Every structure is written in structure tokens, then in C-alpha cells.
Amino acid sequence: MQKELLHSKVDEFEEAMKDMYLIFKVDDQFYGIEIKYVIEIIGLLPITYVPNQEEYVKGIINLRGKIIPVIDARMRLSKPQKEYNERTCVIVTSIDDFLAGIIVDHVSEVAVINKDQISPLPQTYEKVDERFFRGVASLNERLVLILDCETFVKPDRINL
């Protein structure tokens, strides 16, 4: 009985979370990732550089005893580098037990975006790495690029 109740509650929770996205800003653009991947949002911690990584892999942080890699969203998205400031934060994500942090300019909100609100990206940009994107959504009169968190966060190569 308790096991069935627990499974029921888990199913309800997953259903409630399915259309929720964490919206964040990098440069002048808003991006969103499914909330189911987000563990927490933290301030910027000291980053330990690890050599021989992709340029966007900034290094590792110690998050309460867990050592996790952090990637710079600006660099992953081929945006110009910018000095970190008081609004810079790290979105800690979990994908198939792979923990990683994403450094972003700032987090904006959690929003509900239904699947029918997400449109494919137009085929007008030569350098868009489409594997990172699930589409684009209009939210409160601004465009939000929806990231595929699994391909965005899991680096092409990590040698930790």
C-alpha cells in the first residue's frame, strides 16, 4: 500500500514538472532547460582548472564534498567571454547520474512552456549547433531558446 502511494506521488510530481523550464540569460538572450534536470542554483564557487579540457569546460568545483565539472554557457554557445559578476550563478544539473554545473549570466524564472508552444528553429543560421536546441518558445513577448540539456551539458570530451 505505501509503495503504491509512493509511486503515485512520484508520478504526480513528474507530471507536474514535465512542462516546467528554468529560464536563464546568457548575453542578451534567454534560454530554457527542463526543470527535471535542475538540482539547484548556487553562487559561483572557486573553480579548479583541469588541463586538457574543451575550452568551455572551466574546471571543477567542490559542491559539499562532490567534485563536479562546470561548463561556461557563454563559451559553449560561442558567445564572447565576459567577466563574472555578482549575478553570475551556476545551475547544477543531473543527467543520468552525471552531475555538472552550467555557469550563466543570471537565472530569470521558472516558467511553464507547453510542447505546443515550442517551435523548431528556423533554418537561417549557418553556425547554429542544432543538436543543442529543441526549439524556440515565445514567453511574455520574448523569445526563449529551449536547450536540449543532455547534449548541451554532457561535454564532447571530459578527461577528469
Quote the CA–CA distance of 110 and 65 in Å, as a whole number.
28
Q: Domain locations in the chain?
A: 1-153
The stretch 24-44 carries a mean pLDDT of: 96
Highest-scoring range by mean pLDDT, 52-56, 67-71, 95-99, 128-132: 67-71
Residue 103 near residue 44, CB atoms below 8 Å:
yes
Q: What is the pLDDT of residue 97?
A: 87
Select from 3.40.50.2300, 2.40.50.180, 1.20.1250.20, 3.40.50.720 the CATH code of 1-153. 2.40.50.180
Give the integer Cα–Cα distance in Å for 160 and 157.
Answer: 10
At residue 34, does pLDDT exceed 90? yes
Q: How many CB atoms lie within 10 A of CB 64?
A: 5
Most confident stretch, 5-14, 54-63, 117-126: 54-63
pLDDT at 144 over 70: yes
Region 40-59: mean pLDDT is 94
Task: State the DSSP H helix or E strand holding residue 149, giving kind and residue range, or none if neither.
Answer: helix 149-153
Amino acid at 44: L
Average pLDDT, the chain: 87
User: Are 120 and 135 a contacting pair, CB within 8 Å?
Assistant: yes
Cα gap 144→30, rounded to integer Å: 5
